Amino acid sequence: MAGKKKSGGSNAKIIIIIVVLVLLGGAAYVLFVGQSPEKLAASNAAAYFNGVQKRDFDTVFKYNGHCQRRKALILQRATGDKEAEIKDLYNEMKSSFESVAPTSDLRAAWVEKFLFVPGSVYRILKVEMVPDTENPSQPGSNRINAILSVTIDYADRDTAPDLNGKVKSAEFNVTMIHSRNISRILRDDVQDNKWIFQSIQVKPDTIKLW
């Protein structure tokens, strides 16, 4: 009888261990695999905004659509010194980012540098997944973009953007595209599961001026 009790206790311990492992595995899945597209887009966008604010070009390059599109074109070529070409691309884009002049044209390259300025405070209000109506879908797939509503507040009038007047606060629509959609023909081995910055537009009726 004593042996049976010992066996029963061992079985109970094994069941408890299995349950704990399953729960840990489920938590890991939610954290690392099961993240929703909306949450991933918001996380990647925040990384990009922070990189722009801090003038951290390593992060800017990683999450900028134009940079990543050109990098993908290099990677998918069959020949060439890809490492050297990517380094040259990085240096070219970094120089462009650092030397760009302030502008109120929100379609201009690197305009986000003058919207996400040091000292500004942004909040991501919501993320919506919408079909990409401007670019045709690849065969057998539908392109989906993430549209983020983002408010930005500026505490310093001198560094605030000028959009027909110095802006104190405003709400913007930010378009993020998925990395698999940056090229019409992209091999699986050069794809990355992330959302990257495409464009930004202000909502005119939300602008508050100094």
pLDDT tens digits for 178-207?
998 887 665 565 567 899 999 999 999 999
One digit per residue, the tens of pLDDT, for the chain of length 210 reads: 555 445 556 655 555 555 444 444 444 334 444 579 999 999 999 999 999 999 999 999 999 999 999 999 998 888 889 999 999 999 999 999 999 999 999 999 999 999 999 999 999 999 999 998 776 555 545 789 999 999 999 999 999 999 999 999 999 999 999 998 887 665 565 567 899 999 999 999 999 999
* Contact yes or no for 173/149 (Cβ under 8 A): yes
> What is the radius of gyration, based on Cα positions, of the chain?
23
Q: Which of 74, 58, 57 is nearest to 182 (CA)?
A: 74
Cα–Cα–Cα angle for 87, 88, 89, nearest 5°? 90
**What's the rounded Cα separation, in Å, for the pair 124 and 43?**
10
pLDDT tens digits for 15-26?
555 544 444 444
